[in-house]
Amino acid sequence: MERTKGKEPLSAQMKRKSEKPHEEKITEEGNFRTVISTGSTLLDLAISGGRVRGGGLPGGILVEVFGPSGSGKTIFLSEVAGAVQRQGGEVRFDDPEARLDSPFAKMFGLTITKENYARPDTLKEVFEAVRAWKPKPEGVIHGSFADSLAAFTTEEEMDDNDAYGMRKGKEASKELRLTCREIAAKNYLMVCSNQIRDVIGATGNQERTKSPGGRAWEFYPSLRLRFSNVRKLDMELKVAGKEQKRIIGIRTDIFVYKSSIWKPFRTAPVTILFDYGIDDLRENIQYIKDNTLFTTYTLGGENLSNDMNKAIKIIEKGNLEQQLREEVISLWEEIEDKFKQERKLKR
């Protein structure tokens, strides 16, 4: 790697910070002693970077992720479920639309079996199973996942006694009220995906879209993440002397729409490759370039390349992923600290 001249002090300072031991920020409740990564460093930070170094999803909470079709919600659930298993937790995955299969799950390090995978029809089935669940061992985060809420129905709707789905909101409210207590008490992580619907008659500053299923989904989740602004990611190559172009993934913005675990209204860009999942390297390299004086892709003040794909290969070949992540976290914390409001405590 070739050193970038004239810009070393900033990167050297960042590198020294990333090499120092960090004192973990822990809440009084201890919920952040163990966290689950989303697979995206920038999203982990947006969710809870001010509570624990590196951020992530704590146990004991319900999370709703919502957005348009094709925005990466199923992949997000699979990434988080795989992370839960890698940290020793058990997973249960409810999939009414049968989107998940074993080959797809393995891409995220997720193992699905007949014991942890189900295709229930109703919300009641999902939440009753969560309340009856007794995973082992203790002391780790276990995760329950439901994809997607809009596909679940009610017993009345299945019996044609609720043609307009009016019972779904009431049933969701009841089940969430009962289940959220269990989730918090047992330190489970429950993540549910949802679609969005147009709000009829919305004017002015009113929301143009909402997630379906009743008002309960606005109140009970501790964290709501909105997926939006989906862009196609294409790649051009010369094959057999001819230029070829393919769509290889998407880039989506994930907005912390609601949060009771840290500050809301943070946004993280996330790249998803169709045959890989969340590409954390790509966003981390871009973040350093976008938020420093460097004009090329760098790591620790050293020039990697002007080309993103070449920079990624250098980092992967050198097993430098963790160093890159630490540098991103340090830079993010440095920027975030500048916006802290230092005020006298109220007494």
Q: Is 243 exposed, middle or buried (0-12, 13-18, 19+ CB in 10 A)?
A: exposed
pLDDT at 28: 39
pLDDT tens digits, 222-242: 999 999 999 999 999 999 999
pLDDT tens-digit series, residues 105-133: 999 999 999 999 999 999 999 999 999 99
- Report how far residue 323's alpha carbon sits from residue 328's, in angstroms, rounded to the nearest whole number: 9
CA 319 to chain centre: 24
pLDDT at 263 over 50: yes
Model confidence over 33-75: pLDDT tens digits? 899 999 999 999 999 999 999 999 999 999 999 999 999 999 9
What percent of the chain clears pLDDT 90, i.e. is strictly above it?
A: 73
Residue of 59, 80, 78, 76 lying closest to 67 (CA atoms): 76
Give the CA-trace dihedral at 309, 228, 151, 146, to 10 degrees: 60
3 state DSSP class of 229: strand
Q: Output the pLDDT for position 205.
A: 67
Distances (CA, A) of 263 to 49, 187, 223, 340: 9, 21, 10, 12
Return the pLDDT at 158.
52
pLDDT tens readout for residues 174-217: 999 999 999 999 999 999 999 987 665 666 666 666 777 778 88
User: Average of pLDDT values for 242-262?
Assistant: 97
What is the percent of the chain with per-residue pLDDT over 70, rounded to a whole number? Answer: 84
pLDDT bracket for residue 32 (50, 70, 90): confident
Phi, psi of 79 (to 5 degrees): -60, -45
| Alpha carbon 195 to chain centroid, angstroms | 16
Checking if the pLDDT of 87 tops 80, the result is yes
Mean pLDDT along residues 91-118: 94
Domains and CATH numbers, the chain: 35-279 (3.40.50.300)
Mean pLDDT over 282-291 rounds to 98
Q: Is the whole-model pTM more than 0.75?
A: yes
Give exposure, 294-333, as e/b (b: 16+ Cβ within 10 Å): beebbbbbebbbeeeeebbebbeeeebeebbbbbbbbbbb
Residue type at 88 in one-letter notation: G
- Closest C-alpha to 48, from 266, 334, 282: 266
Alpha-carbon separation of residue 135 from 36, 91, 321 (angstroms):
17, 8, 32
